[in-house]
Amino acid sequence: MKRLRVSICILSFMILSGCSIQSSQLSMLIGFVKTPQLDLSTNAWLVKYVDYEAIVYAVSVPEGTLFSNNAGDEVLFDGWSIRRVRGLGHRGSAYQNSDVDNQRSFKRGRVGLAIHLCDDWQVKVQSGKKRFSQRCGSQKTYTNSILVVEDGSISSIRQVVDDRYTTVTLTKLR
């Protein structure tokens, strides 16, 4: 702690006395402070869940892509499937799903809700776009989909996320 105080005193003296110092760490820190805020609008998506709509922002996390906002909405997408949904007008535990072989399990908190059987993903190419689709179901059959545009980026995701066959739709805002 004493070294930190001494370092701050020396640094303050050098700055106030007109001496210049060079430090790659200090330059990086100053550059970081001067860097303007990130433009999150390039990562903006519209999320729809039942009658709820909100703007969320995509951020890479170790588990995949987290779509989130300051209202507490969260949708975790692993590149193929929506794995977790929290918020979106609901309170309480998050909806979660996991895949083992061709079975998708739905849970809320620690409570198992349903198991649906899912086919392998299929792809159709039209006008340079790729639509990936997957048929799943238990008592009812439904289709999950991912639309990939010409540049290789995902422009929409539509998937069932719970035992009531409720869909979450994420659409990239341009």
pLDDT per residue over 34-71, tens digit each?
545 555 567 899 999 999 999 999 999 999 999 999 99
In a domain, 129, yes or no: yes
CB-based contact 165:142 (threshold 8 Å): yes
> C-alpha distances in angstroms, 22 versus 13, 16, 164?
15, 15, 61
In a domain, 7, yes or no: no
The rounded distance, in Å, linking the Cα atoms of 65 and 110 is 23
For residue 59, the model assigns a pLDDT of 94
Tens digit of each residue's pLDDT (9 = 90 or more) over 120-141 = 999 999 999 999 999 999 989 9
For residue 43, the model assigns a pLDDT of 87
In a domain, 106, yes or no: yes
**Element holding 27 (H helix, E strand):** helix 24-34
For residue 109, the model assigns a pLDDT of 86
For residue 22, the model assigns a pLDDT of 45
In a domain, 27, yes or no: no
In this prediction, residue 91 has a pLDDT band, given cuts at 50, 70 and 90, of: confident
Give the domain extent around 48: 40-172
Q: Provide the whole-model pTM.
A: 0.75
Higher-scoring residue by pLDDT: 69, 10: 69
In a domain, 21, yes or no: no
Please give the tally of structural domains in the chain.
1
In this prediction, residue 26 has a pLDDT band, given cuts at 50, 70 and 90, of: very low
CB-based contact 160:167 (threshold 8 Å): yes
Long-range contacts, 53-56 (Cβ 8 Å, 24+): 54/88, 55/173, 56/170
**3-state class of 16 per DSSP?**
helix
In a domain, 77, yes or no: yes
In a domain, 125, yes or no: yes
73: left (phi over 0), alpha (psi -120 to 50) or beta: beta
Of 74, 98, 70, the closest CA to residue 86 belongs to: 74
CB-based contact 90:84 (threshold 8 Å): no
In a domain, 18, yes or no: no
CB-based contact 82:75 (threshold 8 Å): yes
Determine the average pLDDT of the residues in 76-84.
Answer: 95
> Which of 8-17, 118-127, 142-151 shows the lowest per-residue confidence on average (mean pLDDT)?
8-17
